[in-house]
Structure 1
């Protein structure tokens, strides 16, 4: 019997590529995002688009209720929707910071709460949380983004221990540079809030570095294949790392002291 997958943030990037790839490989896929008009082409692959705002309790509950009514349960949840606002901590409004945490952390946690009862009942479930290399390493201007991704790492590690006995696996995926809309949107926001402040010069350096990352970024299918590997393995790894520069950066983070790693990162901002 086909496993039912819900993937959030399916209107672009990793989410869209993963939805298509899994549908092509025999899964019953629901693609969820706010911009439902950007998912109409997914219907051609047999994917069912659902309008979802992960910051709205009503929207989250309605999404899960629809899938349970139509398919019986969510067997595999892929929490991919994300927000990538960048800007100096001093410059970013707390309201924008809260929004980022709502999307990247609390929306993820709430969806997990909603799918767990049926997963426990079925003694089967895969919960895939899309973190980032930015859940292990930090760049200047990314305080709130990194805070949200570091939190996802911790949340996932605790959850994994809680649900293992119910036959549920929790998998973290840590992409490096991957082609997406988020980099451009995050850089634009950063220049808007910090481009003309005391942090303006640093913001320009971070922007240049991101332009380089974007140039060498991997196609989203790289991450889609990692996700498929994780959900099809009986005993999956706790973390899957992939895309441009990811493994190298994590290696440097592991072997260098905090101060040496800071120096290496800041040398890329000039």
Structure 2
């Protein structure tokens, strides 16, 4: 039986690293990409193909996809996992940094997908798994550009699914909630770095960080938990267009969608 081939971006840490190991254990041929190759030594020792990848660089993305295509003659799944949080008040975050947020979280993965789609269309099979967040629906102060990038990703993925399903290709969204990782630490460091001198938003940022820390301490979700969701989405015989790590994540998103005014009231009072 021919082994299936998966491409995973943002594979040097967290969910991407855990997913690369899981797919390899399941017998898949894995191509793991990240900007910092030295952080993927563990994966290379595991027999995984590791490559330097900057999703915002068109040539880097082309090489990543073409290497897998040339060596394996097929690509079954692309997991668009690379992303980060450019936190900070909307007034204080520069437009240049906001554009960088979208370059990584949306346009970079769109470029990779452009390279993969013709291959999958010729196969008449394939899955594009887009790692979004419950933050596409749930919001708070201090994260406007990050939340916007994830909301845009969800809409983009749904449109792609409506266009590509006729060719045997599915575009699927994963919406994890809070996960035990370094993501929030980096996001809030970016947020406080983005504050202008004597910014009136500084107290809000500290309050939001305190609330985030409480939620993260309560959550039991690990990178390995989310990696199993990735695998389920890649192998589900009847794939859904949304996957969540826990029922609670789905419940929160459903609440926000059905009671937007109530949620907005909660946000204003909580922060």
- The TM-score bracket by the shorter chain reads over 0.9
CA deviation after TM superposition for structure 1 residue 128, in Å:
0.1
Matched residue pairs, number? 268
Match of 1:227 in 2: 230
User: Which of 211, 214, 217 in structure 2 is aligned with 1:215?
Assistant: 217
Query: Which blocks of at least 5 consecutive residues in structure 1 are unaligned?
Result: none
SS of the counterpart of 1:240?
strand
Whole-Å separation in 2 of the counterparts to 1:242 and 1:19: 17
Match of 1:246 in 2: 249
Q: Does structure 2 retain, via aligned residues, the 8 Å contact 1:178–1:243?
A: no
The TM-score with structure 1 as length reference comes to 0.95
In structure 2, relative to structure 1, the CA distance for the partners of 1:153 and 1:170 (3 Å cut) is: same
CA deviation after TM superposition for structure 1 residue 184, in Å:
0.5
The TM-score with structure 2 as length reference comes to 0.95
CA deviation after TM superposition for structure 1 residue 20, in Å:
0.6
Whole-Å separation in 2 of the counterparts to 1:109 and 1:211: 32
Q: Which moved more, 1:79-88 or 1:179-188?
A: 179-188
- Cα deviation per residue 1:119-151 (whole Å; 9 max; x = unaligned)? 000111011000100111211111110111011
Whole-Å separation in 2 of the counterparts to 1:266 and 1:52: 40
Check if 1:53 corresponds to 2:54: yes
| Aligned-CA RMSD value | 1.5
Q: Which moved more, 1:10-19 or 1:221-230?
A: 221-230
Q: Does structure 2 retain, via aligned residues, the 8 Å contact 1:223–1:243?
A: no
Query: Which blocks of at least 5 consecutive residues in structure 2 are unaligned?
Result: none
Match of 1:102 in 2: 103
Equivalent positions of 1:82-231 (< 5 A) are 82-194=83-195, 196-217=198-219, 218-231=221-234
Q: Does structure 1 retain, via aligned residues, the 8 Å contact 2:137–2:257?
A: no
